[in-house]
């Protein structure tokens, strides 16, 4: 049956000490709205701080990541800088009054890429969140798809992303404020129990 499929990329739960936890697995068409709904649900449950988990999030729709930044960053602040081959800059600013005013920790790892790095980089530069984990993947380019006359296609890199402080992302990644590795005994980082998740436990410790 042809129908719209929801991948449910946003998961949420309330942890100890009234800490909210929201995991974003990818940035799809409705991710920002799902994030907002999950946050409001946690807020109604009395959370006083928030963990945003971007680990293993390879990116997706950039506008969705920027919308989530808008929920956190004060209106009028730079949240993304794009630069073309002629060094011409375009600056994206936050456009809305933020709805989140809580201490935030963002979890990242080497599989956090693209839109995830844009969100983490903006929150880090603007002092809106502490970044915990390992250095991110380092994909910070914008590509355009061109269709050729014979029906084939060509993907061309046309711009590069930088954080608000002009920190390069591509090929470098976002450095965490505090580097925390998972235990060597972890076989599958996608199937972690909270107790063995040293990155999550560090975030909880900081927010306590």
Task: Give the active site residues.
Answer: 114, 125, 139
Cβ atoms 94, 75 nearer than 8 A: yes
Return d(Cα 10, Cα 61) in angstroms, integer: 14
Cβ atoms 44, 200 nearer than 8 A: no
Return d(Cα 20, Cα 16) in angstroms, integer: 9
Helices (H), 45-156: 62-70, 115-125
């Amino acid at each position: 049956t042809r129908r719209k499929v929801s991948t449910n990329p946003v998961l949420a739960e309330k942890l100890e000490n009234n800490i909210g936890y929201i995991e974003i697995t990818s940035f799809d068409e409705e991710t920002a709205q799902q994030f907002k709904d999950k946050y409001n649900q946690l807020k109604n449950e009395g959370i006083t701080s928030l963990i945003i988990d971007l680990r293993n999030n390879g990116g997706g729709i950039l506008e969705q990541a920027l919308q989530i930044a808008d929920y956190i960053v004060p209106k009028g602040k730079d949240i993304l800088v794009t630069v073309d081959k002629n060094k011409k800059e375009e600056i994206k600013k936050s456009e809305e009054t933020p709805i989140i005013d809580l201490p935030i920790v963002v979890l990242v790892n080497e599989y956090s890429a693209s839109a995830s790095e844009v969100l983490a980089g903006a929150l880090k530069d603007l002092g809106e969140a502490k970044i915990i984990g390992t250095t991110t993947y380092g994909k910070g380019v914008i590509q355009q798809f061109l269709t050729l006359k014979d029906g084939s296609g060509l993907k061309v890199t046309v711009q590069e992303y930088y954080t608000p402080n002009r920190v390069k992302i591509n090929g470098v990644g976002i450095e965490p404020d505090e580097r925390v590795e998972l235990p060597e005994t972890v076989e599958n980082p996608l199937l972690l129990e909270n107790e063995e998740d040293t990155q999550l436990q560090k975030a909880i410790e900081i927010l306590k």
